[in-house]
Amino acid sequence: MFMIFLIGVVAGCSTSNGEQDNNKESSDSETFTIGVIPAQTEGEIDQAMVELQDVLADELDRSVEITTFPDYNGVVEAMNYEQIDMAFFGPLTYVIAHEKSGAEAIVTQLIDGEPFYHSYVITNSENSWTSLEAFIENSNEHSFAFGDPNSTSGSLIPSIELKDRDVFIDQDNHSFQSIMYTGSHDATALAVQNNQVDAGAIDSAIYNQLLESGKINEDKLKVIWKSDKLFQYPWAVAKGTDKETKKRLQEIFLSIENETILNAFGASGFTEASNENYKSIRDAAVKQGLIKD
């Protein structure tokens, strides 16, 4: 979840030999590489990733290198071209990566003990509307912000909701005064708070995290729409990762109590995840034509 930073150049990884069989063994001498999506552009994610890298390196007894990519799609392509062994995806980028390269979800974060979050639509508290219905009643007078185009809660889910309400098809076909893509959840929150846009879509967990950290002002923002539950962001391994490595990674993540790491994700802990947990996101991606059924 996460500020654009680079703690290392993506190195050769255990999938670089092109072998994709289910019994692939990882050499302890090779660097274990992880790609992370830039869900936020601000926060303590840089220090958290340094500490997570140290935890994983110590527990796996091998070199570990974590890189935050400048956009969501970059992580998908890195997995697709076998440049990374593991990735922290958004749910949408995960299902795309699963379709393209066989990435496999193994772990996700817990927020207040549950592996769920929502998509919110927020607006400035100064605005009179208190619901999405009221906001879109005069949509031609209002501007709207999505996050990254490949974000689940910042783009996919709210775009389907707005499409179902007949006010949005895509960036060039809609009934709003204007549409913008901010690239990250915190950028959307700040744009709404500063009245640069009338309303925007955001991850509920990140929204609450930004409020708690004081990066945005609770008195200046309000939620006018909330989606159904969405399964949290997965950590996924490359296709062919051996069972022993997957099990060990799950054990390590589930044992993490480091507050810096947990706080960076607004998490209370980690839990196991599987591809089946993201079926509803895959269905949504199919509906939007992002992947084929």
Asked if residue 93 belongs to a domain, the reply is yes
Q: How many domains does the chain have?
A: 2
pLDDT of 17 above 80:
no
Residues 127, 213 within the same domain: yes
Residue 55 CB coordination number (10 Å): 17
Asked if residue 293 belongs to a domain, the reply is no
Nearest to 122, CA basis, from 205, 225, 34: 225
Asked if residue 15 belongs to a domain, the reply is no
Nearest to 263, CA basis, from 213, 222, 217: 213
The answer to whether 230 touches 116, Cβ cutoff 8 Å, is yes
Last residue of a domain, one of 211, 226, 241: 226
Residues 106, 238 within the same domain: yes
Per residue in 191-212, pLDDT (tens digit) is 999 999 999 999 999 999 999 9
Per residue in 239-258, pLDDT (tens digit) is 999 999 999 999 999 999 99
DSSP string over 81-101: TT--SEEE--HHHHHHHHHHH
Last residue of a domain, one of 207, 226, 245: 226
Per residue in 114-142, pLDDT (tens digit) is 999 999 999 999 999 999 999 999 999 99
Residue 144 three-state SS: strand
Per residue in 141-159, pLDDT (tens digit) is 999 999 999 999 999 999 9
DSSP annotation of 278 reads G
Nearest to 152, CA basis, from 97, 191, 111: 97
Per residue in 71-98, pLDDT (tens digit) is 999 999 999 999 999 999 999 999 999 9
Percentage above 70 pLDDT, the chain: 88
Token pair 């199919």: residue? 286
Last residue of a domain, one of 187, 205, 226: 226
**199: domain range?**
119-226
Q: How many residues does the chain have?
A: 293
Q: Which two tokens stand for residue 94?
A: 């995960």
Read off the amino acid at residue 60: L
Calpha distance 140→152 (Å, rounded):
25
Residues 103, 130 within the same domain: no
Residues 106, 246 within the same domain: yes
Residues 57, 87 within the same domain: yes
How many Cα atoms are found within 13 Å in the side-chain-facing hemisphere of 245? 21
The structure's pTM equals: 0.84
Per residue in 26-82, pLDDT (tens digit) is 445 699 999 999 866 545 688 899 999 999 999 999 999 999 998 999 999 999 999
| 61 conformational bin, left if phi > 0, alpha if psi -120 to 50, beta if neither | left
Asked if residue 136 belongs to a domain, the reply is yes
Residues 150, 216 within the same domain: yes
